[in-house]
Amino acid sequence: MSLKKINIRNSVLILMIVLATATRVFSLGTIVSWANFTPVGAVALFGGAYFSDKWKAYLVPLAILLMSDLLINYFKYQHTGLYGNSVVVYISFAAMVFIGSLIKKVNVANVLMASVGAVVVHWLITDTTFNSTLYAGGLLGYMQSLTAAIPFELKMICGNIVFCAILFGGFELAKSKYTVLQTNKELAV
């Protein structure tokens, strides 16, 4: 296979996503109080921002997150498959990819806004599946669920900021050193 057929940029993006997601898988014994301090939001934003083919922007991060969920469920909880509200969680991940695709210029302000926006979307979407045995029904239960989730979402914001700094900052630095990682549009400027 010739080097022309290998898309080095996409390979680097995939490698970065795999490595970031691996931190989630290999932190199985982490302290529960840091639950939600993970790379999932940053990975979704990163994929949305950098893959020029939108189908790859969704497929790559979501597939790698799915594989990490399956590994975590198997090794940590000794069961195969996904958790009960996984469809809703993956819808929130897809929404995060969309938010990442809205980042037209990568800079600290845009990535920070996307990081916080992704958490807000995750918070509002995933808490629609609150456990009715824990909270009242209807809107009151939803509000109770949102309130209870605040500490977890704050940790997710921290995770997004840290992992976005690593992913976006690392890739922007690499692009400045290696033109092969730049898009044709970036090279034309």
List, for residues 70-112, the tens digit of each pLDDT value.
Answer: 887 777 777 777 777 778 888 999 999 999 999 999 999 999 9
pTM of the predicted model, to two decimals? 0.87
Mean confidence (pLDDT) of the chain: 85
- In whole angstroms, how far apart are CA 164 and each of 3, 106, 112? 29, 11, 8
* Domain map (residue ranges) of the chain: 7-182
The closest of 116, 90, 91 to 103, measured between CA atoms, is: 116
List, for residues 144-173, the tens digit of each pLDDT value.
Answer: 888 888 888 999 999 999 999 999 999 999
More confident residue, 106 or 188: 106
Mean pLDDT of 165-182: 94
Angle, CA of 112, 113 and 117, to the nearest 5°: 120
